[in-house]
Structures are given as structure tokens and as C-alpha cells.
Amino acid sequence: DAGVTQSPTHLIKTRGQHVTLRCSPISGHKSVSWYQQVLGQGPQFIFQYYEKEERGRGNFPDRFSARQFPNYSSELNVNALLLGDSALYLCASSWRLAGFFTDTQYFGPGTRLTVL
Amino acid sequence: ELKVEQNPLFLSMQEGKNYTIYCNYSTTSDRLYWYRQDPGKSLESLFVLLSNGAVKQEGRLMASLDTKARLSTLHITAAVHDLSATYFCAANSGGGADGLTFGKGTHLIIQP
């Protein structure tokens, strides 16, 4: 079975630009979460979507937004990119709403975003 | 606000030795996760610990949870080079949908 997939794998943008990252969850999983991992740090929670609705949000500015589609895939959008947005962006999927249930979150390979 | 602290952050050890990684968390959490990350790779789930006193073992790794002390440990027995990686613990602030809070990770190097 395919795991969580993300695209693109690498991306280079300049300050002020906009970026869209994509994630496809494991088949049958309805929850998708997004995390930002800065080099040398642990992942930091950005959003969780379940059944196409935002169910949780971390401490990130409004420049960060996301959505989930009817097929449970998800997009993360970041506007007005800053140098500090350079990071590995990880998508994780779980069968049910992570946090309310004990389902393991399975992580995708990530998208490495570099902002110049 | 839930905070998760790991120590040590860096560990270099020899093959065949035993060692323990510690994970403290600041507020009540009803579950604790351990993940492994290889350089340039994503996170691989190792253990989910759900209750006080829970102990899980997989090969040379054993994880335990003490919810009263708000402490989880990851014990490595007779380390081998293949276990070299960064290990993260993560907790969830009980019952919310706000995702996992991760520690900074323990960068483990196992030398022959």
C-alpha cells in the first residue's frame, strides 16, 4: 500500500512569493495534519483537517492556510514568503481525528522549501 | 501550553552499550509517541504509549511511560550502528485536535 505522498519534494522560492504544497494521505485515512520542521528542531504543528474541515490550528500567522478536498488530499498554502519559512514541511495522515483518538500519525517524505 | 523536553540532545555511543533517552512533558497528556528520523528522511513511528506504566519493546528499543512523573524513556539495549538516527518524542495535550508537540530530538550516533 502506498504511504503518504507529498509534492513537490523540493522547492526554491524568493521572499514575497506564494507557495502551494500538496499531500495525499494513506488510502482510507480521513485526517491530514501539516507540520513545519526547521533544521535541527522537532516538527511544529500547523493545521489538522478532518472530513474537509479545519479541526486544529497551531501558532502560525494567517499567511499559512490549508484545505482538504473530497478525496481527503490536502494543500498547504503560504503567502508572502519570508526567509524564516525555509523548512521541511511534513504532512501526516491518520484514520480518525488525531488527538481525540489514539491513531498513529503516518508522515510523508516532506517538501523541502528554501526561501531566498 | 504543552512543552516537551528531551535529553540528551546529542549522544555518541559505542556498539554494544546500553543507554536511555529521557522525555519530559509539562502538562497532562494521555499519550506519548516516539518517532525515528534518518537524515533527509521523514519520521517513522516507533511506539505509541497510552497509559501509565505502559511498556513497549521492538528489537533493541524499549519505551516506557510514567504519567505521574510526566516522563517517558526510550532505552537502547546493545546498540548497533543501524540505530543511528534522530529520535523524537511527542505528546498530545489530551483530547484536543491540535496535533502533536514534539521535543527537539536526540541525535544518536553509534560507533563501531
Q: Please report residues of A whose CB lies closer than 8 A to that of B97.
A: 48, 50, 55-56, 97-100
Q: Please report residues of A whose CB lies closer than 8 A to that of B90.
A: 42-43
Facing residue for B99 by CB, picked from A41, A48, A110: A48
Give dist(CA B12, CA A40) in Å, integer. 17
Please report where in the chains the cell 503516518 appears, as a residue.
A106
- Is B88 in contact with A110 (Cβ distance < 8 A)? no
Look up residue B88 and give its amino acid.
F
Q: How high is the pLDDT of residue B52?
A: 82
Residues of chain A with pLDDT under 70: 1, 99-100, 102
Chain B interface test: which of A107, A111, A112 (most B C-beta within 10 Å): A107
Q: Please say if the pLDDT value at position B94 is more than 70.
A: no
Q: Please report residues of A whose CB lies closer than 8 A to that of B48.
A: 102, 104
Q: What are phi and psi of B33, to 5 degrees?
A: -120, 145
Residues above pLDDT 70, as percent of chain B? 96
Q: Are B107 and B7 in contact (CB under 8 A)?
A: no
- Is B42 in contact with A109 (Cβ distance < 8 A)? yes
Q: Are B61 and B75 in contact (CB under 8 A)?
A: yes
- Is B97 in contact with A56 (Cβ distance < 8 A)? yes
Q: How high is the pLDDT of residue B51?
A: 79
B30: cell is 494521555
Please report where in the chains the cell 494567517 appears, as a residue.
A62
Q: How high is the pLDDT of residue A95?
A: 87
